Structure 1
């Protein structure tokens, strides 16, 4: 059919894959409080011209979509200064504890930001937040069988986190909010849509919490 791309065996399964290129030099050009900016010079092909790209060198992050027994999900409202907006998000945080297991980090963020613990964990999605400008890899979990963290053990939230507000919302309403352009946080948007897709078969095809994460920089 005219204008239809050819289908090859490799194209039938769409899967991102590592693609090592010849690195000529790498320099840290900015050292920040949380992440650095790196300038890499590399070649796409052995005989190709040298290219230079600056990007954020990021430790990665985890995000959690908490779901209660009624199938509602928890969203948190938090101020984000770079965009100057209050955003409805899901609990999330940096993987900045060296050697910490990914799901342990996710459980820590769930407790610190939402005062919740979960007995059932699955992977919803793995994403790069902005692969053209950052190495940040994010793993988004679905957390179920929730219980509240005892008051005496709750994390004291400060700065922007001190203003966090909670709101339980049905998954269908959350999907509608995404499609209507009312939600913008990438972890929330991806997590909500992934959960809606996974709900079709009762979340049976979701990966276990300890599934391999080869896209994370620490695993490559």
Structure 2
């Protein structure tokens, strides 16, 4: 099975300084044409955490649908600001779990299992000590998924290649390119970690003029084949 997977931090759909314009982010997603995309910062941060990415606009503009799950609040799209969009035919067979993560600030991951692939969507903490603890828990979870292909992807918030990722030694860590800050990308904060047996056919960063205005992160993507 071949899949095009992606990850994108939306920055609450307000670009660098505003205004709130989710149609820009949705057009960036449509241009990527992913089968599955992990999203971060889909909700506003305070109060009832209402959706920053309007649920009603998603399928019309991208052809994707949000994964069914219990969200942070009644008007939220995601959990801890995260959601996953996927093709409707994949959504019909998807199983979802929420994974609480340790750290100094509230964080969590979303585990999505579909057709032999377990995809874990993450937005890791700002402190490296928290990120290490979070990745250690996720790596232990991945190690227990015998028989499944595993992809951990999202905003790792880690700008170093030689520190903070020690727990992922059993996985292949892929940073397709600089993704932050979007107007002049220098740091590879957005990454994927893939289990052995997943063939990476192609990968890249969604670096367009629109993407540089739509968020403070650029999206990353990869074409993969599952054995």
Higher fraction of strand: 1
**TM-score range, shorter-chain basis?**
under 0.3
TM-score, length-scaled by structure 1: 0.21
The TM-score with structure 2 as length reference comes to 0.20
Higher relative CO (Cα under 8 Å, sequence separation at least 6) belongs to 2
